[in-house]
Structure 1
């Protein structure tokens, strides 16, 4: 094989491709903003630790940390802080908690949060989710239709409140 087709390198990796950024506005709650800042600090500490290693043959962890730092820096640059404690409780909005009753009588509370803070296990949903889109703007007593892949679900808004910090 000809040596002209072998890439000679200096041992450094090319930067990893950036993580995709959402095309939606980056609304964040104060809790979400603090979490983004904390995650960035943690990654910066991790990167410094990785670069201080005596044995640095495997540079993939460093490249991954650098990529993640770029992502969180971009998310912080585009963050639009919404303080939900200043919002009236007349209708469902970003940062507020809403309790709904399903047709079977079960009740569930959801909090509409930023994309980076969304966590289905904690009932925190992003504003672009089908459920949040159905709920935003609704008032207590309103019935909304949540268009799920398994079929539409009717929900009654029974309470709007400020979320726990």
Structure 2
């Protein structure tokens, strides 16, 4: 068999083996920014797909198509959730400032899974910290990984 046929078969196998991106089983709650991020990803991927198709790049078409299916699914299941302006307990979409017993403080905005980035101050609504904080108000404590945190402040938005 020619090496050209072998390479083509290997390429076909690689394309077939990319698999799907896993989709969370949790509710797909999103903030307004999260919904805009999903829409931006979809628009960029549609452009990427058109370019890959013009180039005839089958591997890139397969990868972009997979990501497009993921983001289309996330857009389809997105549930926009905006906290009530006068809420006095932790809810999705709120910014929460917490302090530990040693006086170390953290501030997190609770967002959807796809927009969560702890290095930028956002955590997923299904993270252990967010789950421990939900429904609690200023002065209440939450225990995460054996460490106690007191809610110091809440901010909507």
Q: Do the structures match in fold with TM over 0.5?
A: yes
Deviates more, 1:11-20 or 1:62-71: 11-20
**Deviation of the 1:15 alpha carbon:** 7.8
Give 1:98's aligned residue.
96
Query: Quick one: distance in 2 between partners of 1:89 and 1:36?
Result: 27
Q: How does 1:61-140 map to 2 (within 5 A)?
A: 61-84=60-83, 86-140=84-138
**Contact 2:82 2:92 (C-alpha < 8 Å) held by counterparts:** no
**Backbone CA RMSD of aligned residues:** 2.0
- TM-score, length-scaled by structure 2: 0.87
1:1-165 matches, within 5 Å, as 13-14=15-16, 16-53=18-55, 56=56, 58-84=57-83, 86-147=84-145, 152-163=146-157
Unaligned runs of 5+ in 2: none
Unaligned 5+ runs, structure 1? none
- Partner Cα distance (2:94, 2:69) in 1: 29
Question: Normalised by the size of structure 1, how large is the TM-score?
Answer: 0.83
Looking at structure 1, the residues matched to 85 and 24 of structure 2 have their Cα atoms a distance apart, in angstroms, of: 25
DSSP 3-state at the match of 2:97: strand
Greater helix content: 2
Once the 2 structures are TM-superposed, how far is the Cα of residue 87 of structure 1 from its aligned partner?
4.0
Tell me how many residue pairs correspond in the alignment.
149
> Residue 35 of structure 2: SS of its match in structure 1?
helix
